[in-house]
Amino acid sequence: MSDMKKLIIGIIFLLLPVLFVACGIENGPEQSIVGESTGQKLEDVGSAMTEIEENGIETADTAASEPETVELLNWVGEYLDENGNVSLRIEESGTEYHIEISIFRLTSIDDGVGIIEGNKLVFTATDASGEPIRGEIEKTDNGVDVIFTDSTWEYIENGDRYSYWSK
């Protein structure tokens, strides 16, 4: 069998699953899971590729140009400060997160409540003077950074950043 025939047969076998998807199978509440065939026969591999591209099916050419999806980050855990002490705890509580932050020789915050916004964990807590304090937690290569965004406490300014490392 010639190399060209092998190539064409290989392409056809690779396209068969894509063609079944391109037939319009939908899973709406009023539709069958099986779907219906369009009855259209493809003349050759070239027309199959054209149909795939026109219907928005992802191919190797279109996959590279589409934006990446945001990875869901796992925030739960204990994180270490620069002294090797557990100084940040994040626990999942339903759709929210419970956050405890300890900053060496400065303060401890144990009533933080956070939610995911984009790729950040945004939290609100109570500072040492009893006032609300807000911040964001961002993932880094080795752990997380806590950035305070709204503080009225004299020892933590807006924009102060503290780094914690994964345990």
Q: Please compute the mean of the pLDDT values over residues 141-167 and round it to a whole number.
A: 95
Domain boundaries, the chain: 3-63, 77-166
What pLDDT shows up at residue 19? 54
The span from the CA of 132 to the CA of 158, in Å, is 13
Whether 47 shows a pLDDT value over 70: the answer reads no
Q: Please compute the mean of the pLDDT values over residues 7-15 and round it to a whole number.
A: 69
pLDDT digits (tens, 9 = 90+) for 13-46: 666 565 555 555 444 444 434 444 444 444 555 5
Q: Please compute the mean of the pLDDT values over residues 118-144 and round it to a whole number.
A: 96
What pLDDT shows up at residue 13? 63
Q: Any idea which residue has 């100084």 for tokens?
A: 87
Model confidence, pTM: 0.57
Q: Say if domain 77-166 classifies as CATH 3.30.420.
A: no
Q: Classify residue 30 as exposed, middle or buried by CB count within 10 Å of its CB (0-12, 13-18, 19+).
A: exposed
Q: Which two tokens stand for residue 61?
A: 């050419």
What is the dihedral sign for C-alpha 27, 33, 38, 40?
Answer: positive
pLDDT digits (tens, 9 = 90+) for 81-128: 999 999 999 999 999 999 999 999 999 999 999 999 999 999 999 999
Q: Classify residue 121 as exposed, middle or buried by CB count within 10 Å of its CB (0-12, 13-18, 19+).
A: buried
